[in-house]
Structure 1
Amino acid sequence: MTADIYHFNNDSCKLLSLILVPCFLISTAGMAAAEEVQFTLRVMMIKESNKVLYAEIDSDFADVLLSFLTLPLGTIVRLLVKHYGKNAPIFGSLNSLYAGLLNMDDRHFWTLEGLLMLAYPRNSSEMECSRLKLLIDDTPPTRYFMCSNMMCVSMYYNMNCRCSNSGNMMNRNDVAVGSQCGVKSVFTVPTALFILTDDMQILTNSPASVLRILKLNAIKDTNALEERTLIVGRNEIMELLKGSLVSKTPITDIILPMSSADDSDTLRETRKFFASAKCESDALPQTQTSQNISSDSKKITVKAFVQKSTNRILFAQTRHDFIDFILSLLTIPLGQVQFLLGSSTHLGSISNLYRSISDSENVEYMKSRDTIAKLLEPQIAPYYLSKYQIFSLSQQKLPVFHRTLVHNEIELCECSHSELCTSKITTFDPKGQDSYVKGPMLFIVTNDLEVCTAASKSIISILDQMRIPVFDVEEQELDIGMEEALSILKATLTSTSALTNGLQPFLKSRPKQQT
């Protein structure tokens, strides 16, 4: 995270020092080693157009690409901003949503831990991703700490516990959850070999796949092709993550120019374009989703302030429940977003990667059916489900801890199989009252989803800043249910005007004035 772009307030900085520092010390050595990892890819090119047809990849590289789908949206924004700084791509309205979160006063949250959960969302597949040959996610690994009374457990360091004799969480009796010693594979079987197309499809490395690609690209003469070697490290993986969100052909558009010594005008323009690329779409097609939309789904009411002359939503006045919902979008894994929107997010080429998982030829090369399910519909991490969540999300099973006596000292034990394990120990929801944001309270949400308290921005200053006359503004009340929430989600990914693009179809139509 770059200090000149996102800022924590003072109290939040104290929280980071208490929680993140111990965890970073645990993982620093592993991350330093990860930065040195490189992959060597054989890339087949069309000589005349300098376009990539495909690259040959192994299971280790395929696992890294598939791990993109396990990353929560907030983690993706944070990683891109940390890596690219001021040149980070604009990820729809997620950048401003994340920046608004960091600028919120921590007093608006039930707990400081709840704020940190949103700023550093956990990956429910972190156990699997910890075995990746190259891990780009720098989120500290989940650990659990027992309080000084040895009565309750939290996943945050040095935080106040919830038992009757309230004390602090201790770092002495901590435990990492879910390690799998001896397991080498992550998502695909270790012997698998694949082909990665320029639009991020993963295919089995077979003559049939190659022939299909040649026919799709109208290649009649193999003399038109040439083979190149591409070295891919951490920087290139970050470029692929970015490219999968902003480009239909990320290897040709981004990876190849990075590695090429040719500094032609064409390559310079390519670099310039994708350095400032935006995941934005002006026309959002109607959402097709696997979610069942019913009339009895949860609804949240907001007041939208609309410019009558343009039918554009200027901002919305909302209660804490809607703020809780939109902030929790940052915790949803990218693969779950693909599932919610029927794999049609209109982001770069990430949908092709998602669809590759269920390709009939790839299924036997995936580690297991359970692995396929984890990628196609990733769960959110434990404790992350809010009571104001509109989507029907599945939450990872909560860990169960017991006390165990080792060398005459009480320690944590994740399972109860050991004869040394004694009574069950209580874990508590770190975010507070089954939600993140305190209420009742009124907030303002801008068109690009930046959140602030209603008192901090008066309607007069907002209209003055936008140069919009009062007579051109009207208020409309909207009920946000499943259909509206899905539309907001899609717009959040692809537009810097998420409120307008997401909710405009649901505004009341005004009668046309007769001329």
Structure 2
Amino acid sequence: MAGTEFSDEPVFKLKLLVDKEKNKVVLAEICKDFVDVLFSFLILPMGTIVRLLQKYQQNCRDCDIQQRFRSQPATIGCFNNLYKSVVDMSTEDFLTEPCRHILLNPINAKERECKRLKVNIDDTIGARIWNNFCSLKCICGKFMEKEINTMEGCPKEIFGSGKKSFIILDNMEVGFCSIVLTLKALRGLGYTDLNKLDEMLVDVGHTEVLALLECLFSSDTPLMDVFLMKRSSCIITRTHNMPNLAVPACGKTKPNELPSVTVFVRKQDKKVLYAESGQEFVDLLLIFLAVPLESLWKISGANIKLGCIGTFYKSMKSLSSSEGTTSVLTCTSMLPMNYNFQAPRLDVCRKDYSVWTVLVNSRSYALKLMYPNYDRSTESTVHGSSGFVRRGTTYMISDDLTISPTNSCSTIRILKKLNVGLDEIEEHVINISNTEV
């Protein structure tokens, strides 16, 4: 069941403690392997999460599974729009086809660890010889399709600690299993009479894990929603204090600032209608699809309340920092080397380039690093700082982060759609620093 071999066969059995009167999950006892699966959510790139949930929701509609789990289809802020923008843009809008592929199928920096999970929901194709991009050709003209079989040793633990048993509350707070912690959790939830609680065994497979991932973004009570088929709602609130966007003085752009972005605003209520920018700002927006969930939550400063991710994230960090715990998650999530050009602006760790060698007929050959924007027509490898989208193009960005190459027709269409007169629009040229990023 490890790797990308998907099946609906149950892999885990969870013991739920259920409130009979309220028909709600109080807590569950879970094993280390299941904790590893849950914690793998945090190292998934955001683009992968969007793609997996869209695929899962489509399967629910096709198979009527939605009635089984009764979960609300999750929309992850503007990430669905960012992802759809890449889907809708043509290959010609990118430097190379692999540049588009690497955004639609982001590389997981912890790919090796995820392959060892009992249930690995990440169906992204793993590393192949030389590259992770199925459409990238070698300088000889052939596709590089051979799988890499590494000889590296793997640590015994994946993400969790050496502990064997854990408890998880309905809000996805995970802790070590002990009588002391269990009593503390039950008392904290207001339970003093265990006779009101029943034990319930449930099967968990690939479908249930995806349902939990979806509910992580859309519910305060994922366990109840998935296993008791109840529906709860969660209101997304944003408490982030945005800094003032400064209009730059001519010739005075700070070193850490991006090129200027032109923002078009409706005069009456100062609503942002859309923005126009060059390729560098678009590259920065698109790189968020490759950022792991853990890093995104850290970047936001936990100022966005979405489902129960905050509770889950804090409990994960607490487990990772506990005495005696040896966890991969004690290290900050990283961007693979293919995305390194924007990592400094995002305050995300970059994964160092590893020197790989391949053994062929008893001879050792060093593997050559190739970026996704390698252009075989010129037989040159563009440096990783060159980004994804075509240079010399202006892009239109709506307030919900839908991106498209600018042309007069699309501009007129959006003005008509918004029913805004030309004299009602004012434009501002702003600089976006690392703070706004």
Provide the TM-score with structure 1 as the length reference. 0.72
* Matched residue count: 405
* Shift in Å, 1:380: 1.0
Kindly indicate whether the alpha-carbon contact (under 8 Å) linking 1:379 and 1:396 is maintained by their aligned counterparts in 2: yes
One-letter amino acid matched to 1:311:
K
Measured in 1, the distance between the counterparts of 2:36 and 2:306 equals 20
Q: How far is the alpha carbon of 1:196 from its aligned partner?
A: 0.4
Match of 1:231 among 178, 184, 203: 203
**Is the 8 Å Cα contact of residues 143 and 177 (structure 1) preserved in structure 2?**
no
Q: Who is 1:95 aligned against?
A: 80
Report the counterpart of residue 244 of structure 1 in structure 2: 216
Distance (Å, rounded) in 2 between the aligned partners of 1:403 and 1:244:
41
CA distance in 2, matches of 1:388, 1:131: 27
Match of 1:373 in 2: 330
The CA deviation at 1:431 is: 2.8
Q: Any conservation in 1 of the 2:320–2:330 contact (CA below 8 Å)? A: no
- The equivalences for 1:246-285 within 5 A come to 246-252=218-224, 254-258=225-229, 267=230, 270=231, 280-281=236-237, 283-285=238-240
Cα gap change, 1:155/1:456 in structure 2, threshold over 3 Å: closer, same or farther? Answer: farther
Name the SS for the 2:228 alignment partner.
helix
Q: Aligned partners of 2:135 and 2:91: how far apart in 1?
A: 18
Task: List aligned pairs for 1:322-471, cutoff 5 A.
Answer: 322-359=281-318, 363-364=322-323, 366-368=325-327, 371-374=328-331, 377-387=332-342, 390-402=345-357, 404-406=359-361, 420-421=363-364, 424-432=366-374, 433=382, 434=384, 435-455=387-407, 457-471=409-423
Report the equivalent of 1:147. Answer: none
1:225 to partner: Cα distance:
2.0
C-alpha deviation, 1:52, in angstroms: 1.7
Counterpart CA distance in 2 for 1:80 and 1:178 is 33
Residue of structure 1 in register with 2:377 after alignment: none
Structure 2: which amino acid aligns with 1:394? C
Q: Which amino acid aligns with 1:354?
A: Y
AA aligned to 2:266 is Q
The root-mean-square deviation of aligned C-alpha atoms, in Å, is 2.7
Helix, strand or coil for the counterpart of 2:260?
strand
Matched letter for residue 448 of structure 1: D
Whether the 8 Å CA contact 1:74–1:330 is kept in 2: the answer is yes
Measured in 1, the distance between the counterparts of 2:304 and 2:294 equals: 11
Q: Which is worse superposed, 197-206 or 337-346? A: 337-346
1:341 and 1:71 map into 2 onto residues whose CA distance is: 17
TM-score, L = length of structure 2: 0.85
Q: 1:325 to 1:389 in 2, by over 3 A?
A: farther
1:159 aligned residue (114, 136, 140): 136
For the residues of structure 2 that align with 1:443 and 1:33, how far apart are their CA atoms? 39
Aligned to 1:8: none
The one-letter amino acid paired with 2:191 is I
- The CA deviation at 1:112 is 0.9
SS in 1 for 2:80: helix
Equivalence for 1:41: 14
Q: Deviations over 1:427-446 (max 9, x none)?
A: 22123442111212101011
Q: In 1, distance between residues paired with 2:302 and 2:324?
A: 21
Superposition deviation, residue 362 in structure 1? 6.7
Determine the C-alpha separation between the residues in 1 that align with 2:264 and 2:298: 31
- Match for residue 127 of structure 1? 112
Aligned equivalents of 1:388, 1:298: Cα separation in 2: 14
**Moved beyond 6 Å, runs of 4+:** none
Letter of the structure 1 residue corresponding to residue 226 of structure 2 = I
What amino acid does structure 2 have at the position aligned with 1:431? Answer: N
Per-residue deviation, 1:481? 1.2
Q: Is the 8 A contact 2:7 2:205 kept in 1?
A: no
Q: Distance in 2 between matches of 1:386 and 1:194?
A: 39
Q: Tell me, what secondary structure is at the counterpart of 1:465?
A: helix
Q: Which letter does structure 2 place at the counterpart of 1:238?
A: L
**Hey, what does 2:145 align to over in structure 1?**
171
Q: Cα distance 1:387–1:48, how it changes in 2: closer, same or farther (>3 A)?
A: closer
Residues 403, 33 of structure 1: alpha-carbon distance in 2 compared, 3 angstrom cutoff = closer
Matched, 1:319 2:319: no
Alignment deviations for residues 235-261 of structure 1 (CA, whole Å, 9 cap, x no partner): 211111011111122112x11333xxx
SS in structure 2 at match of 1:351 = helix
Distance across 1 between alignment mates of 2:364 and 2:196: 67
Name 2:246's counterpart in structure 1. none
Runs of at least 5 residues in structure 1 that lack an aligned partner in the other structure: 1-27, 145-152, 259-266, 289-294, 408-419, 486-515
| Structural mapping, 1:194-233, within 5 Å | 194-233=166-205
Determine which of 310, 318, 321 is the counterpart of 2:269. 310
What amino acid is aligned across from residue 159 of structure 2 in structure 1? Answer: F
- Asked which structure has the greater RCO (Cα within 8 Å, sep 6+), the reply is 2
Equivalent residue in structure 2 for 1:137, among 97, 122, 127: 122
Change in Cα spacing, 1:38 to 1:326, as seen in structure 2 (3 Å) is same
* SS state at 1:44 partner: strand
Could you say if the C-alpha distance between residues 388 and 84 of structure 1 is closer, same or farther in structure 2, counting changes exceeding 3 Å?
A: same
Instruction: Give the corresponding residue for 1:497.
Output: none
Match of 2:247 in 1: none
Inter-partner Cα distance in structure 1 for 2:34 and 2:323: 17
Q: Percent of counterpart pairs with the same letter?
A: 28
* 1:134 aligned counterpart, secondary structure: coil
- How far is 1:108 from its partner? 1.9
Match of 1:78 in 2: 51
Mark the CA change 1:101 to 1:54 in structure 2 (over 3 Å): closer, same or farther.
same
Q: 2:250: which partner in 1?
A: none
Aligned-pair CA distance for 1:78: 0.1
Other structure's SS at 2:334 match: coil
**How far did residue 391 of structure 1 move?**
1.2
Aligned counterparts of 2:289 and 2:342: Cα–Cα separation in 1: 16
Kept in 2, the 8 Å contact 1:298–1:482? The answer is: yes
Q: Is the 8 A contact 1:319 1:441 kept in 2?
A: yes
Structure 2 CA distance for aligned equivalents of residues 155 and 430 of structure 1? 9
- Is the CA contact 1:44–1:53 (under 8 Å) kept in the aligned structure 2? yes
Would you say the 8 A contact 1:70–1:125 is kept in 2? yes
